[in-house]
Amino acid sequence: MSENIPCLLCGKQLDRRIDRNRKPYFICDPCGMQIFIRRRHGIDRLNELIRVLRGRDLPFREHAKMLYEIQATLTEINGLKSEMKKLDGVFNFFSNDRDKKRALTSLRNRIDHLLSHLQDIAKGRV
């Protein structure tokens, strides 16, 4: 059975690694965070944490799944807003361009849909 803990920043499962001195450490590649446990008391507490997390594995996975979904939705919203700003910059010369208006309307509609989805997640409907 793997021995892992969630990243404190993103929730990704981090596998326990062992250094050359036989001390545990964890690395989250996406966040760039490194966790080193050097003292006996910390290693004992880590072992207890891993034991407790194993017992709560399913609820944690559900929570992590929800967190990932929220992060992905927020990332998509930010990307759509960025695209809207680009459209404003690119089409300034053609301020009455129908295609620009249609594209902006489509992007706004997608953002509205994603915000509704976030509300559903918050209310536990997803």
Average pLDDT on 14-25 reads: 94
Q: Is the pLDDT of residue 80 over 80?
A: yes
> Which of residues 27, 55, 83 is at a domain's end?
55
Same domain, 43 and 64: no
Instruction: Name the residue with tokens 């209310």.
Output: 123
pLDDT at 1: 46
What type of residue sits at position 34? Q
State the burial class of residue 117 (Cβ atoms within 10 Å of its Cβ: 0-12, 13-18, 19+). middle
**Cα separation, 3 vs 31, whole angstroms:** 20
Tell me what percent of the chain is helix, strand and coil, each rounded to the nearest 5: 60, 15, 25
For residue 47, give its domain range: 4-55
Same domain, 74 and 106: yes
Same domain, 43 and 65: no
- How many domains does the chain divide into? 2
Same domain, 39 and 93: no
Model confidence pLDDT, tens digit, residues 32-52 = 999 999 999 999 999 998 888
Same domain, 49 and 63: no
Higher per-residue pLDDT: 97 or 105: 105
Q: How far lies 121's CA from each of 6, 12, 19, 60, in Å?
A: 21, 19, 40, 16
Q: Is the pLDDT of residue 54 over 90?
A: no
**Cα separation, 101 vs 96, whole angstroms:** 8
Q: Is the pLDDT of residue 96 over 70?
A: no
Average pLDDT on 53-72 reads: 75
The per-residue pLDDT of the chain, averaged, comes to 85
Instruction: Name the residue with tokens 């407790």.
Output: 52
pLDDT at 53: 78
Q: How far lies 5's CA from each of 23, 26, 28, 36, 71, in Å?
A: 15, 8, 10, 13, 19
Average pLDDT on 28-33 reads: 90
